[in-house]
Amino acid sequence: AQSVTQLDSHVSVSEGTPVLLRCNYSSSYSPSLFWYVQHPNKGLQLLLKYTSAATLVKGINGFEAEFKKSETSFHLTKPSAHMSDAAEYFCVVSDKGYSTLTFGKGTMLLVSP
């Protein structure tokens, strides 16, 4: 069975400061990992994905994530937050060979001016 734990339900940053959203996963197999973002009243947009290639993954809008197998972590970072980054972020795991996504509970990112 696979699972995802997002360690913070809310993260508050100031515009221009770094962003760190934490995610730990559990998987029986070599997992694929994703980060999705959801703006209010919108669907989910894929930020980036890890699929056993490079462990440092670059995504859209300046986000990146590092896969650390020894720590079973896949934390999302951005060097400098924008007001437009305020949204809910979901860490997602998918075991290889399967087509179901397991979502974390989400982290709400709040960005203040």
Partner 1 sequence: KAGVTQTPRYLIKTRGQQVTLSCSPISGHRSVSWYQQTPGQGLQFLFEYFSETQRNKGNFPGRFSGRQFSNSRSEMNVSTLELGDSALYLCASSFRPEENYGYTFGSGTRLTVV
**Residue 69 interacting with partner 1 (CB under 8 A):** no
Backbone angles phi, psi at 76, to 5 degrees: -100, 135
Residue closest to 103 by CA, chosen among 113, 88, 82 = 88
Contact criterion met (CB below 8 Å) for 112 and 14: yes
Q: Which stretch binds partner 1 (CB under 8 A): 20-28, 32-40, 58-66, 71-79?
A: 32-40
Residue closest to 106 by CA, chosen among 19, 8, 34 = 8
Q: Which stretch binds partner 1 (CB under 8 A): 12-20, 37-45, 59-67, 70-78?
A: 37-45
Least distance between partner 1 and beta carbon 104 (Å): 8
How far, in Å, CA of 94 to CA of 108, rounded?
22
**Residue 32 interacting with partner 1 (CB under 8 A):** yes
**Residue 103 interacting with partner 1 (CB under 8 A):** yes
The binding site for partner 1 (CB under 8 A) comprises 32, 34, 36, 42-46, 49, 51, 90, 94, 96-106
